[in-house]
A and B are shown apart, each in its own frame.
Chain A
């Protein structure tokens, strides 16, 4: 079941997605054998308290969240969590966030070399204060600048998590590939809104939130496929995966691995079930590894 994401070999094709697994230390009924790796909850240099409630609302086949990247800051992460990661038998990537390229760079420099930190997943869906709050991920130059800033400060794998809120994901994908990304993670949540008709107001206090869950899966498969067609580096598919068949769709559409997120809220065994289901699918067809799956990835 092992897969190669660039130079890094994962023992399985499934990672736990950022923001749905905390720092991996509080996950209930965790079956570690099924995890190829884990991406930590997004972290900033400094602690952040997050947004006021309500922070989540369920929508048809999905949920909106506006947590506001609540977190303890990088020093607490290094002190409280990294030592535990160093003892685990799967790699932990840190999802890094900042308000400027310099902040991403500082965060990377601080985490690089810390035992337990296997690599970085750059969240480029953050507002860039130096560009009037424009999201890094919506601008190929800003996305590339952040990637470059991180790349220059570490030799560990650097993955970039792409936002779907763009008109052409291939443009961003190529820009961060050129800036030195080792892999792409596609995709982050879609921005959405839900209105409470009792009070004529948005249900979330932040007004908008990130939509996740099976509701976004066909959109995510398409965007991950588009990203995979645009670049030569591996793409890790994310978006509404709840079953092995869902994950296999991403793999056939051109992804090397997948991340499972919201499904674990619903089913604590989701990752193990996806893992075992992929193994059964491959076994039934005489395929020895996920890399042997036929890919639908026309190059034009």
Chain B
């Protein structure tokens, strides 16, 4: 785990209101694994850091994906090249590829693309054939970037690709990895209990001490999205108790 004063090196639009931000964070870039995240703070900004999956690694740089949803993300998006953020990571337990899967399907919804690119590249490097199924509300909300051998689009309104959800549009495979709204992940769990899913929770410290990012488990009790997670076996989670809708408080 590293605490890096990271210089922002770029920003690009990849879907409606959705941006990729690139920052210079060499020790994180060289150690991050698919499904892991960074906890980012900036000033002036909210008190708590905000967690972001690492979307891609490019040399000494890492990339994150964000949408302008609140005051905090708007502040982050208003930063320009050369501005600095405090980047803590890599954090959490990511995707596992095990021994011998020959095919993988990656299911992402909306911002869920954030943890998929690294996973797709890792799978490809292991000789696994990757099908990426990406869902969003409309054509404009689909991420313009993708990876993998085959690509399937799904939109709620049918404006691009298959009409319907990404889960419904996805084929079966040896390995299923998913990231998106918790409601979508619950659907993944219903179809593929063995799938690995990256959940979303509120987060405090990001390092395992505050116990704020509790994930309810089917066997009872809770563990921490920031340490044991954010990636879980889908059938291990008590989906009825995991909040399906998070809305960050305004934090001027």
Contact = CB atoms under 8 A, between A and B. Distances in A.
Given A59-B249, A63-B204, A52 B47 contact: no
Interface string B1-27: 101000000000000000000000000
B233 to A, nearest CB: 19
Size class of the B contact interface (CB-based, 8 Å): 35 or more
Nearest to A65: B212
B35 interface: no
Interface in B75-123: 86, 88
B165 interface: no
Contacts of A78: none
Contact of A196 (B3, B241, B247): B247
State the majority secondary structure of interface residues on A. Answer: loop
A56 interface: yes
Contacts of A265: 48-49, 204-206, 209-210
Given A196-B247, A266-B49, A56 B41 contact: no
Interface string B194-223: 000000011111111111111110001110
A26 B207 contact: yes
Given A50-B211, A50-B214, A65-B210, A57 B88 contact: no
A70 B47 contact: no
B214 A52 contact: yes
A56 B216 contact: no
A262 B49 CA distance: 12
A221 B167 CA distance: 53
A54 B211 contact: no
B205 A60 contact: no
Contacts of A151: none
B252 interface: yes
A153 interface: no
A58 B209 contact: no
A33 to B, nearest CB: 17
A196 B49 CA distance: 20
Contacts of B206: 265
Interface string B218-252: 00111000010000000000000111011111011
B46 interface: yes
* Most chain A beta-carbon neighbours within 10 Å: one of B49, B210, B215: B210
A49 B249 contact: no
Interface of A: 19-22, 26-29, 41, 49-63, 65, 67, 70, 194, 196, 198-199, 203, 205, 213-214, 262, 264-269
B47 A63 contact: yes
B112 to A, nearest CB: 19
Contacts of A70: 211, 214, 222
Contacts of B201: 53-54
Contacts of B204: 56, 63, 65, 265
Nearest to B227: A26
A136 B49 CA distance: 34
Contacts of B205: 20, 264-265
Contact of B222 (A27, A50, A62): A50
A212 B214 CA distance: 19
24 contacts: A21-B209, A22-B208, A26-B207, A26-B208, A26-B209, A28-B1, A28-B3, A28-B207, A49-B222, A52-B241, A56-B203, A56-B204, A57-B249, A58-B251, A60-B251, A60-B252, A61-B47, A63-B48, A70-B214, A194-B249, A196-B247, A264-B205, A264-B209, A266-B41
A94 to B, nearest CB: 16
Contact of B220 (A49, A60, A205): A49
Closest 5 CB pairs of A and B: A56-B212, A265-B205, A22-B209, A49-B221, A28-B207
Nearest to A24: B209
B39 to A, nearest CB: 9
Residue of A28, A199, A269 contacting most chain B CB atoms (<10 Å): A28
Given A65-B210, A269-B3, 20 more contacts: A20-B209, A26-B208, A27-B209, A28-B3, A49-B221, A53-B214, A54-B201, A55-B202, A56-B202, A56-B203, A56-B213, A58-B46, A58-B48, A196-B247, A196-B249, A198-B245, A203-B247, A203-B249, A265-B210, A266-B49
B166 to A, nearest CB: 24
Contact of A27 (B48, B203, B207, B252): B207
Given A63-B47, A63-B48, A265-B48, A56 B222 contact: no
A157 to B, nearest CB: 24
A196 B243 CA distance: 13
Nearest to B48: A58
Contacts of A264: 205, 209
Interface in B130-163: none
A53 B209 contact: no
A214 B210 CA distance: 17
B247 A198 contact: yes
A53 B242 contact: yes
A152 B241 CA distance: 43
